[in-house]
Homo-oligomer: A and B are copies of this chain.
Amino acid sequence: MADHVRSDAGAASRRRFMQQAGAGSAAVAAATLGLAAQDAEAAPAFDASYDVVVCGSGCGGLASALFARWQGNSAVILEKAGSIGGTTAKAAFWYWVPNNEAMKKAGIADPKPDFLKYVARLSSPQTYDPAHPRLGLTPWEYDMCSAFYDSASPAAELLAAKGALPYRHVADVPDYFAELPEDKAPKGRVLVPKDAIPSMSDGGLVAVRTMSTKARQDGIPIRTGIRVTKVLQDKSGRVIGVEAKDELDATVRLRARKAVIFATGGFTHNAELRKNFLNGPIYGGCAAPSNEGDFVQIAGPLGAQLRNMNYAWTCPIPLEKAIAKDGSISGMFSVAGDSMLFVNKYGQRNVNEKLQYNELAQTFFEWDGAKAEYPNLVRIAVWDQRSQQHSASAEYGRLIVPPGTDDRHVIKGATLAELARAIDERLAKYASATGGAKLALDFLPNLQAAIARFNQLAKTGKDLDFQRGERIVEQLFNGDVKAEPGRSNATMWPLADAGPYYAALVVAGTLDTKGGPKTDTHGRVLDGADRPIPGLYGVGNCVASASGRAYWAGGATLGPIIAFAYRAANAAHAEGRSAT
C-alpha cells in the first residue's frame, strides 16, 4: 500500500476530508507521533484529530458517538458505504430493553436474576444450570449479559431524553420463547422508534434519521465513503487513530486522542469467513452490503481473540436475491400465508414453516450423513391463489408480494406439474451455487402427497407433524390471512385443488453475524491474554456477542448494541489521555 499521505493525492485527500468535516477546532494535527516499529518509516501526519473516532454509522456507531459527545468529547463517524445507516437503515429497529422504564410504569416486573435465567437458558442450553452461580454461562458470557441488563435501559432513556431516539413501548410483542418457564416477563421488553409506522417495519429509517440529525446538531461530522483499513498504535501498543481510504482511494489518517470505536457490522457479505466459521451454509443476508467482516481482518494483526464465530442472527432469504447480492434483500421475518407450505427438493414437507425466523433458518443446515448432502439446502415455498390474494405484502421480507413489486423470485404454474417444471428450470439456472440441487424424480408425486397431508391437517387446524402455529411467536409473524371466522389455527388453510400455484426458492441467510473480536463489558477489545488493547473498542455485530446461538426476542440485536455503545462511550470518555 503506497503511503499517499505525502503525495499530492494525499494532500488533496486531507483537504477534502477537512472540508467535508467542516474542520475548525478539529484542525490538522500534524504532529508526527512515535509509532510502532513497522509504522515508523511511514511517519504519518494525521489529517484530523478527535477524542473519539467511531467507525460505522449504524445504530452502534451513531449511539457511541452521541454518548461520547454528550460527555464533552469531540467525535467523528466514518462510514465505508456511500450512505449512512448501515444495517440499521434496513431494520425494523425493534430494540429489546430489559426492565425498561415503560415496563416499570406498566407494572411489569423484570428482575435481573430471572432475566439472566431466560438469557442463559437460550444462549447455552447445553450447559444451562439454574443452580449454578453463573447459570452455566462462562464468566465472559455471564458478565456481558449482566452488563446488557444493567445498561440497556439507561442507554435507551438517555437517547430518548436527548431527542436522539424517542421511543414507544410495544407492550404486546412477545419474546421469541415467551412460553419458556424461565421467561418471567414474556412481553414488554420491546421498544421501537416513536415515529415508526404502525407495522413498525420502517423503524430503522426513523432511528437513523433521528440519531444522525442529533449527531449533526451536536457537532459530530459523519463522513461517508471512508473505508478504515488499519488501526494505528504508538510504541506502547496504545491505539492512537486509524488509517483509511477515501472515495478516491487516497489515504487519510485520523487521530483518536481517547479511543477508536468500531461499530462496523459483521461478516455477512464475506463468503470466505462465512464458510470457515458459521455453523452451516449461509448464502448472504440482509445486513448492509458493506458488512464484509472488516473488523475481523483489522483486529487480527492486533492479536484480538475471536469469539462466538459459529453463530449468526439467521433468517431465511430468497435464493435469487442472495446470489445477486441484491442490497435491497430483506430477511424473511414473516413467512406469510396460510395456504402455503415448504417442501425440499424431494417434495417432502419437513419443517414448521412458521418457526421464528432464526430457528427456521437453522433447519436448512440439516445434514444427511449417508447421502452426504444438505437435503434442505434449498427449500421451496409453495402457495396458491388464496394466499397470493390475501397475504401479499412488501414488508418484513415476505415471499408473497403484491402486484407491481419486485417478484423475480416468484415462480408460477397453472398446475402443480407446470409449477414443478418451472421450479426445476429455476434450480438448474442456479446449480453452480447450490452444489447442483435439483428436484428429485419423484418430486411431483411427493409434493402432491405433501399438500394432501397438509390440507388434511389444515382442515383440523392441528399440525400433528410439525406443530405449526402453536407458539405465540408464530402467530406474531403470520402476516395477513383471509378471515375465516371460527377457525382454530390462523396459520393453516388447505391449498386449493386447482391453480394457479406459486413457488419461491428459499435458503438460509443472516440479518448479520454474531462473531468477532472479544470485548470486555466496557466494549474494550481484548487480546489473547484478555488484556484490553488500549484505546480500541468494539460495539455491535462487528464484535463477539455473548448470546451464543440464541435469538432471545425481537430487538435482541439492537438492545445490546445500545447498551454497549453506552458502556463503550463511557469507558472511552474516561480514558486518561489529554488532548494534544
Contacts and interface: CB of A to CB of B under 8 A. Distances in A.
Contacts of A306: 276-277, 306
A279 interface: yes
A43 B126 CA distance: 47
Given A279-B279, A279-B310, A527-B301, A125 B373 contact: yes
Contact of A300 (B303, B307, B362): B303
Interface residues of A, number: 70
Interface in A380-411: none
Contact of A372 (B121, B360, B369): B121
A432 B129 contact: yes
A545 to B, nearest CB: 11
Given A37-B37, A372-B125, A132 B432 contact: yes
A114 to B, nearest CB: 17
A419 to B, nearest CB: 25
A367 B362 contact: yes
A277 B363 CA distance: 19
A122 B305 CA distance: 30
B129 A436 contact: yes
Interface string A444-477: 0000000000000000000000010011000000
A367 B373 CA distance: 18
A310 B277 contact: yes
A37 B234 CA distance: 12
Given A280-B279, A300-B528, A528-B301, A136 B435 contact: yes
A366 to B, nearest CB: 7
Interface in A533-572: 544, 548-550
Nearest to A308: B276
Contacts of A276: 306-310, 515, 544
17 contacts: A37-B37, A37-B235, A122-B372, A125-B372, A125-B374, A126-B377, A129-B432, A131-B432, A136-B435, A276-B308, A276-B310, A276-B544, A300-B528, A301-B303, A309-B309, A370-B467, A372-B550
Nearest to A281: B126
A180 interface: yes
Interface string A277-303: 111110000000000000001001101
Contact of A177 (B367, B372, B433): B372
Contacts of A132: 432
Give the top 7 A-B pairs by smallest Cβ distance, nearest first: A359-B369, A301-B303, A279-B279, A126-B281, A128-B435, A276-B307, A37-B37
Contacts of A7: none
A161 B237 CA distance: 51
Contacts of A304: 300
A428 to B, nearest CB: 13
Nearest to A470: B370
A396 to B, nearest CB: 19
A527 B303 CA distance: 12
Contact of A366 (B278, B366, B471): B366
Given A126-B374, A126-B434, A128-B436, 12 more contacts: A38-B237, A122-B372, A127-B435, A138-B275, A276-B306, A279-B280, A306-B306, A359-B367, A366-B366, A367-B549, A370-B467, A370-B471
A129 B431 contact: yes
A45 B547 CA distance: 46
Contacts of A352: 370
A363 B369 contact: yes
Interface of A: 36-38, 121-122, 124-129, 131-132, 136, 138, 177, 180, 235, 237, 272, 275-281, 297, 300-301, 303-310, 352, 355-356, 358-360, 362-363, 366-367, 369-370, 372-374, 377, 431-436, 467, 470-471, 515, 527-528, 544, 548-550
Contacts of A436: 128-129
A356 B369 contact: yes
Nearest to A309: B277
Contacts of A235: 37
A362 B372 contact: no
A136 B275 CA distance: 13
A125 B301 contact: no
Contacts of A433: 127
A369 B362 contact: yes
A132 B431 CA distance: 11
Contacts of A121: 372
B300 A125 contact: no
Contacts of A275: 124, 138, 548
Contacts of A310: 276-279, 309-310
B309 A435 contact: no
A542 to B, nearest CB: 16
Q: Which among A129, A138, A277 has the greatest number of chain B C-beta atoms within 10 A? A: A277
Residue from the set A125, A129, A272, A310 with the largest chain B CB neighbour count within 10 Å: A125
A308 B136 CA distance: 27
A370 B131 CA distance: 24
Contacts of A432: 127, 129, 131-132, 136
